[in-house]
Chain A
């Protein structure tokens, strides 16, 4: 590759970075959504993908539409959020919730669970099924939140591609499910629909971890593979938000590859199962239950 070509490519990348920064700035100034504290590499990748899927030659074209076109915001938010998940993803984690966390939750007369960043709701239904099977669901309230309204709407519907069902059934059994996952959904054509009775104790609500505050007192917060997109300061701020939301001795469950090495607020939590990223608020001695 000759020097001129390389310089041109480097200039293209530099220009792209400027456009990405302006796009993020426009999203904040025009609509109040602040992505400036997101991890840059994956955010840039997603913005470029959005440009591609919208047939926009440049990110600046997206920025123009974002500023002027009513309704374009929801397309952008959909593109920038990460609704990829599966039911009972990391079955070990759900098994640990059932075996190590539920027995403590059972000691509360009313159980509040906050699923932060619930996206399309696969984990909400997973959790509801586990709670149902543990006999705890009747006295549980699940708050399922996300900043992406269209994802929330889909989460409420509980309709997923049928091709996922096989993997999800395997996950469910690996997590120690006591029935068959098929007992909880009906299949029609190429879709499955989760039993809507599972939704009876779920409140789906729009909440943005970047800007919104504590809104409930929770005994368990699940937030898996959301903080991986946040810069260190935003990750720390969000952990503090979870701390303030949790009762003393309450549980926090993160994604299995998340690192708290750069978050001072992590000191407020004690690992319950460090490999599975399950923590408890406070020191072991002072934890309730």
Chain B
């Protein structure tokens, strides 16, 4: 794998706790843009961004349509829209049908980011209650990107990481506590 140029993260049930832990331990020196798709029941992600920002070492913002991915910034998919990354590394949104019962869908984010970044992408699947993200992680790996999956036995809800492991496999499967240090190691020069 070449030097990673972006990170995409997916989670659903139990995701908020996991993300707080993960983001608190990321190096503030990370240059890679991060895009996050987390299924929530709420109609906006404003509150989620604020909660995550309290713990995160990097800025947390809602991803904006047409905007470039910003270095060293965590971009959160807005509620009710699929978030896609164009090959120009700009974001786009869609209100297409739900995928795996979800909008935003992790698969949609991962698939598009995989084609935009090819082997310079890291995909991370954390705790969650359905199969969303498994297809997308497989696409990331097919194109040479790196897959990190939270160890299902360590996850608050194991279905999502287990499905990802089953379909896509992983380059690294480890407990949550190990994921931020691993990302720091992979991404810092």
Flag whether B92 is at the interface (Cβ < 8 A).
yes
Known: A228-B95, A257-B78. Is A42-B84 also a contact (CB below 8 A)?
yes
A-chain residues with CB within 8 Å of residue B142 when the two chains form the complex: 1, 5-6, 9
Q: 0/1 per residue, B58-83, Cβ < 8 Å to A?
A: 00000011110000000000100110
8 Å CB interface, B100-159 against A: 108, 111-112, 115-116, 118-119, 141-144
Contact A41 B95 (CB under 8 A): no
Minimum distance in angstroms from B4 CB to a CB of chain A: 15
B-chain residues with CB within 8 Å of residue A39 when the two chains form the complex: 84, 86, 92, 94
Q: Which residue of A lies closest to B92 (CB)?
A: A39
Q: How many residues on chain B are close to A (CB under 8 Å)?
A: 28
Q: 0/1 per residue, A1-45, Cβ < 8 Å to B?
A: 100011001100100000000000000000000000001111001
Flag whether A191 is at the interface (Cβ < 8 A).
no
Q: 0/1 per residue, A65-89, Cβ < 8 Å to B?
A: 0000000000000000010110000
Report the Cα distance A45→B92, complex, angstroms: 13
Contact B94 A229 (CB under 8 A): yes
Interface size class of A (residues with CB under 8 A): 20 to 34
Contact A257 B81 (CB under 8 A): yes
8 Å CB interface, A250-267 against B: 255, 257-259, 261-262
B-chain residues with CB within 8 Å of residue A41 when the two chains form the complex: 84-87, 92, 112, 115-116
Contact A259 B94 (CB under 8 A): no
Report the Cα distance A47→B151, complex, angstroms: 35
8 Å CB interface, A200-229 against B: 225, 228-229
Flag whether B50 is at the interface (Cβ < 8 A).
no
Residue of B65, B96, B116 near A259 (CB, 8 A) is: B65
Contact B96 A42 (CB under 8 A): yes
B64, B66, B82, B115, most chain A CB atoms within 10 A: B66
Residue of A40, A45, A85 near B95 (CB, 8 A) is: A85
Report the Cα distance A249→B44, complex, angstroms: 30
Flag whether A232 is at the interface (Cβ < 8 A).
yes
Known: A84-B95, A228-B94. Is A42-B143 also a contact (CB below 8 A)?
no
Flag whether A46 is at the interface (Cβ < 8 A).
yes
Report the Cα distance A229→B187, complex, angstroms: 32
Q: 0/1 per residue, A172-186, Cβ < 8 Å to B?
A: 000000000000000
Contact A84 B97 (CB under 8 A): yes
Residue of A46, A82, A228, A261 near B67 (CB, 8 A) is: A261
Q: Which residue of B lies closest to A228 (CB)?
A: B93
Contact B144 A10 (CB under 8 A): yes
Report the Cα distance A232→B66, complex, angstroms: 8
Q: Can you list 21 A-B contacts (CB < 8 A)? A: A1-B141, A9-B143, A10-B143, A39-B84, A41-B85, A41-B87, A41-B92, A42-B82, A45-B84, A45-B94, A45-B111, A46-B96, A82-B95, A84-B95, A84-B96, A225-B95, A228-B65, A228-B95, A232-B66, A261-B67, A262-B66
Extra contacts besides A9-B142, A228-B81, A228-B95 (14): CB < 8 Å: A5-B142, A39-B92, A40-B87, A41-B87, A42-B82, A42-B92, A42-B94, A45-B94, A45-B108, A45-B111, A225-B95, A228-B93, A257-B93, A261-B64
* 8 nearest A-B pairs in the assembled complex, by CB-CB distance: A9-B142, A6-B144, A41-B84, A42-B94, A259-B65, A41-B112, A39-B92, A259-B66
